[in-house]
Amino acid sequence: MAGEILDNKGRGNVSWSWPPIHPEGRKFGIIAVGLSLIPLLLLDWEIIGWPMLLLSAGVFAFFRDPERVVPQGDNVIVAPADGLVSLITECEPPAELRVDDGSGAPGLPDGPVTRISIFMSVFDVHINRAPISGTIERLVYIPGKFMNADLDKASEENERQHFLIERQDGVKIGFTQIAGLVARRIVPFVKPGDIVASGQRVGLIRFGSRVDVYLPAGTDPKVLMGQKIIAGETILAELGTQKLLEGIAQ
């Protein structure tokens, strides 16, 4: 199915399959299985071994990497992460995405924009994807603390990695991977200068985390507070579209 065109008129072939495990997580799953077999096979401690084996399955599930059907369109911004929309607010983008970094490529302009925060629990897929097609202009890693990623101040104090993607027409989108209370490593799949497609895998964060997206000025979200969204599939916003949306929790 990878690379196949599907549409809302029934074009394309679809079938269910087990999601593959990303190579980054296979070693952790194998280690977890090996550790669980020690009490089961060598020590005959079933009361410990079986729960550990179940936990091993959870490790594999954490690193699952399902295919996604990415909406196409000139103005579409797709969600870069699975999870819960935990915060929508107006703020300045991080300085690392705005200031001159010496590369000659300008960053995001000064001034408040809409920030959408997506909280990923340990049960969500943790592969992050590009919200638009374009060139990776900046990739800035910042070491920091490991507070609860659901807290607003985690955007400024936790370990994090900033991305800046620029389209051919000059439109720029900034987003940030933020490590959380349990997360201990941010892993990029791309580097500055790489050209990425909308929905392409760009990195992951291990074990619970958050992603902040900074929308261009004049663009409002098409998602709501408390909404569950899917990386590479949920339309986060459409460029230049401003409209109040309301939802009812039920």
In order along its 250 residues, the chain shows pLDDT tens digits of 677 888 888 988 888 888 888 888 788 788 888 888 877 777 777 777 787 878 888 788 888 999 999 999 999 999 999 999 999 999 999 999 998 877 777 889 999 999 999 999 888 999 999 999 999 999 999 887 666 556 666 666 778 899 999 999 999 999 999 987 665 578 899 999 999 999 999 999 876 689 999 999 999 999 999 999 999 999 999 999 888 889 998 8
Q: Specify the pTM.
A: 0.87
Q: Residues 204, 128: contact at Cβ < 8 Å? A: yes
Active site residue 15: no
Residue 99 lies in a domain: yes
Structural domains counted in the chain: 2
Q: What is the DSSP letter of 223?
A: S
Distance CA 6, CA 14 (A): 9
Residue 55 lies in a domain: yes
The verdict on 124 and 45 lying in the same domain is: no
The verdict on 103 and 210 lying in the same domain is: yes
- What pLDDT does 27 receive? 81
The verdict on 50 and 95 lying in the same domain is: no
Residue 51 lies in a domain: yes
The verdict on 54 and 89 lying in the same domain is: no
Residue 244 lies in a domain: no
Domain of 46, in residue numbers:
23-62
- What pLDDT does 187 receive? 87
Distance CA 28, CA 156 (A): 29
Residue 243 lies in a domain: no
Helices 46-62 and 23-37 pack at an angle, to 10 degrees, of: 180
Distance CA 64, CA 193 (A): 27
The verdict on 127 and 57 lying in the same domain is: no
The verdict on 48 and 105 lying in the same domain is: no
Distance CA 155, CA 194 (A): 25
Residue 98 lies in a domain: yes
Residue 13 lies in a domain: no
pLDDT, tens digit (0-9, with 9 covering 90-100), for 15-47: 888 888 888 878 878 888 888 887 777 777 777
CATH number assigned to the domain comprising residue 113: 2.70.70
- What pLDDT does 18 receive? 84
Tokens 């590479």 -> residue: 232
